[in-house]
Structure 1
Amino acid sequence: MRKLYTGLAWTVAGAVVVQAAAIAFAFGGMLNLVSEGGVVDKALLESFQAGGVGELGFMIHAVVGAGLIPLLALTLLVVSFFVRVRGARLWAAIVFGLVALQVTLGFSITDMPYLGLIHGANALAVVATASIAALRSRRGRVADATDASPARAEGASPDAVAA
C-alpha cells in the first residue's frame, strides 16, 4: 500500500507538470497563429476549428485538469486511509483540498481572469504538497499502535529521565 500511495502522489505531481507543458504548448500555438496573421476572437473559440498548432494543448489541459488530476487526488486520499505511514492522511487531504481549489479556480477564470494568477501559484502548491506526501511516505516511519504515546512520538525512550 505504501508504494501505491507514493506512486499516486508522484503521479499527481507529474500530471500537474503535464498541465504546465500543455498550456505552454497551447499558448505558443496561439501566438504562432496570431503572428501569422490569424485572429483570435469569439467566433474562433466557439467554432472549435482553430486548427492551429497547439490547439491540442488546451484540450489536454482541460481533460487532465478537470478529470484526471481530481480522480488521482481522490484516489490518493482514499488510499491514505489504508497506508500505515504517519501523516499520510493529512498530506493527502491537503493535496485533495488544493486540487479542489485548483479546479474551482480553473472554471472561474472566464468570469474573473485575475484568478489565473492564483491558479498558476496554486498549481505549484499542488506539485509541492504531492511531492512532500510522496517523500514523507518513502522516508516516514510506519505508524502502529505502540507509537500512540506522545513520548514515543518525540523519540524519547521509556527509560528517559524527566528534567
Structure 2
Amino acid sequence: MRGAYKVLASVLAVQIVVQAAAMVWAIAGLYNFVDGGGTFDKSLMEEGSESPFPEVAGFAVHFMNGALIVVVALVLLIVSFFAKVPKGVPAAGAIFGLALLQFALGIAGHSLPFAGMLHGVNALLLFGATLHATRLPGKATTVDQTHAAPARV
C-alpha cells in the first residue's frame, strides 16, 4: 500500500503539470487565433460548434483532467488510511482539500476573475503538496538509530 500511496501522489503531480501545459497550449492557440483576425466569444465554445483552432482542445483537457484530479486525490486519501505512511493521512487530506478547493475556484473563476487568480495560486500549493507526499513513503525506510541494536565487532 505504501507503493500505491507513492504512485498516486506521483500521478497527481504529473496531472497538475498536464493541467498547466493544457491551459498554456489553449491560451497560446487562442492568442494566435485572435492575432490572425479571429473572434473569440461564447458561441465558439458551445456544443456542436466547429473548433475555431486546434488548441481549443486544451480547455477540454484542462476541465476533464481537473475533475479527474479530485477523484485521484480521493483515492489517495482512502489509500492513506491503509498505507501506514508516516504523516500520510494528513498529507492526503490536505491534497484532497486543496483539490476540492481547486475545482471550486476553477468553476467560480468563470464569473469571478479574482477566483481565477486564486485558482493559479492554489495550483502551486497543490503541486507542492503532492511532491511532498511522494517523498513521505521513502522517509519511513530509514532506521531509527536511537532504537537500533548496537553493532557487534
Structure 2, gaps ≥5 residues long:
148-153
Q: Secondary structure at the match of 1:69?
A: helix
Letter in 2 for 1:94: A
| C-alpha deviation, 1:141, in angstroms | 5.1
Alpha-carbon distance between aligned partners in 2 of 1:46 and 1:31, rounded to the nearest angstrom: 19
Equivalent residue, structure 1, for 2:111: 111
Equivalent residue, structure 1, for 2:63: 62
Identity of aligned residues (%): 37
Equivalent residue, structure 2, for 1:134: 134
Alpha-carbon distance between aligned partners in 2 of 1:25 and 1:6, rounded to the nearest angstrom: 29
Return the index of the structure with the highest Cα Rg. 1
Alpha-carbon spacing, 1:156–1:138, altered in 2? closer, same or farther (3 Å): closer
CA contact (8 A) 2:105 2:116 kept: yes
Q: Secondary structure at the match of 1:44?
A: helix
- Give the count of matched residue pairs: 145
Equivalent residue, structure 1, for 2:54: 53
Q: Secondary structure at the match of 2:111?
A: coil
Alpha-carbon distance between aligned partners in 2 of 1:70 and 1:42, rounded to the nearest angstrom: 27
Q: Where in structure 1 do 4 or more consecutive aligned residues deviate above 4 Å?
A: none
TM-score in terms of structure 2 length: 0.88
| C-alpha deviation, 1:140, in angstroms | 2.6
Alpha-carbon distance between aligned partners in 2 of 1:7 and 1:45, rounded to the nearest angstrom: 35
Letter in 2 for 1:56: A
| C-alpha deviation, 1:41, in angstroms | 1.7
Task: Give CA-to-partner distance per residue, 1:71-90, whole Å, 9 cap, x none.
Answer: 11000000000011210101
Alpha-carbon distance between aligned partners in 2 of 1:70 and 1:56, rounded to the nearest angstrom: 20
Letter in 2 for 1:113: P
CA RMSD of aligned residues (A): 1.8
CA contact (8 A) 1:30 1:53 kept: no
- The alignment status of 1:3 with 2:29, answered yes or no, reads no
Alpha-carbon distance between aligned partners in 2 of 1:75 and 1:9, rounded to the nearest angstrom: 10
TM-score in terms of structure 1 length: 0.83
- The alignment status of 1:120 with 2:127, answered yes or no, reads no
